[in-house]
Each structure stands twice: as structure tokens, then as C-alpha cells.
Chains A and B, each alone.
Chain A
């Protein structure tokens, strides 16, 4: 059982927006501005999309955004494209004892 809670699935139509939530506690998501999001295609390694809640590495389009409110972080993908389909994972720094915890992943389907 993962430390962070994500919905197992999400979906949206081409061109629309979808938001994926990531719920934790004050010991992880709520306690630090260190939420990270990854996208993973089947059989491939994860790809970093967002770090520090809402920062995008170079190469990640600005239609991908992150936010946080209290103990819940969110990833929003706007203008959905076919290649946005995949699994999305959140993670958070959780202090020096636990260090990093993950969510269970969300499978995004583009309709």
C-alpha cells in the first residue's frame, strides 16, 4: 500500500483538461514543497514532469502544471493529446527518516 493516495484511473477527451490528485499527510505532501510528478509509458522508465510542486524541467510543455493545497497535490494536463496516455506517479519528500514516498499511480486514458 502506497503512502500517498492517487485515483487509480482518470480520463479526458482530446483537447480537454484533466487533474490528478495526490493525497498525503502533514509529514510529506503538506509538510514540504517537494512534490514530484512522473509520467510512465508501458515498459519504459518514468519521466520527470514536475518538481518542487509546480516547477517544470526544460522540455516539459507548459500545458502540464502542478499545485498543492494543504496535504493534497494536483497535476493538471491541459489540451490533452493522445501521447498523454500513460501512468502518472506522484512522490514527496517525507523527512530524513522516510525520505521519499510514492503514490500508487494513476492510469490516464485519453478518449
Chain B
């Protein structure tokens, strides 16, 4: 059974750095699986926004508008993926989700996510 769960601080102050951890089970980010995990966020009442991803080979892709502020790392021994975002602003207030790249017919789809965490709300105070 595949599950993902995000954990974060809940509240951060403007200019601080956000760290959110995605702990997953039911799959692994190792070479034998060729899987990936993406980060997506959603401000309250607004649309989804893709942030970035890390794959089994430690390749990383980022939203170009946020690239300079984002870091994504993985710890395969802990089955975790960590997102850090620097210089937080109230406009970054959102629910942050991690999601697995979809696996269908033995193929992994980096841009279609089949399992999602429940999300963690991060509020940035000014």
C-alpha cells in the first residue's frame, strides 16, 4: 500500500527558510524502481502549482520561477524526500503536497501523480 505524509512547521516567519519532509511507504526511490516524488503547493482557494521533483537517480527538476529558492533532497534509507524553500514570503502561504510519479503498465510518469499525501498547511507571517 502506497502512502505519503508531509510534515512541516505550520508557521514560518517572513524571510525564514521552510523545510517540509515527505515520508513515504509502499515504494522506494532506488534504481530498481525508477520512481520519482514531486512537490506541489496550493495557496488557500487557489490553483495547484508544481514546485519540483527528485527521481530515483537523484535527478532534479524545478519550477523555473522558484528554482533559485528551492532545494530537494532524498534519503532512501529513511524513505524521505525533503523540500527546502528559502526567503519565505506571505505569498508562499499554501498547503504543500508531495506526490508519487504515477506508475502504470510498468512505466513511471513523472508528470502525472497517482498517490498524494494529505498536505501540510504552511502559513507565512509578516
Q: Are A57 and B48 in contact (CB under 8 A)?
A: no
Contact A91 B64, CB 8 Å, known A45-B117, A46-B48:
no
List the one stretch of A17-25, A68-76, A94-102 in contact with chain B: A94-102
- Size band of the A side of the interface? 20 to 34
B48 contacts A89, CB within 8 Å? yes
**A99:B114 contact, CB within 8 angstroms:** no
Contact residues in B for A44 (Cβ distance below 8 Å): 118
Q: Is B102 an interface residue (CB 8 A)?
A: yes
The interface size of chain B toward A, counting residues with CB under 8 Å, comes to 24
- Which residue of A57, A92, A101 contacts B114 across the interface (Cβ within 8 Å)? A57
Cα separation A96 to B64 with both chains bound (whole Å):
10
CB < 8 Å: which of B50, B53, B102 contacts A51? B102
Residue of A nearest to B61 (CB): A99
Chain A residue at minimum C-beta to C-beta distance from B102: A51
B96 to chain A, nearest CB (A): 11
A97–B64 contact, CB under 8 A?
yes
Assembled-state Cα–Cα distance A58/B118 (Å): 21
Hey, which chain A residues are within 8 Å of B38, CB to CB?
100
Q: Name the B residues within 8 Å of A91 (CB-CB).
A: 48, 50, 111-112
* Given known A-B contacts A100-B111, A105-B48, A57 and B119 have beta carbons under 8 A apart: no
CA distance A2 to B49 in the complex (A): 8
- Cβ-based interface call for A52 (8 A): yes
Q: Which residue of B lies closest to A87 (CB)?
A: B47
Chain A positions within 8 Å of B, measured between CB atoms, are 2, 34, 36, 38, 44-48, 51-52, 55, 57, 89, 91-93, 96-105
Q: Which residues does B use to contact A, with CB under 8 Å?
A: 38, 47-50, 53, 61-64, 97, 99, 102, 104, 109-114, 116-119
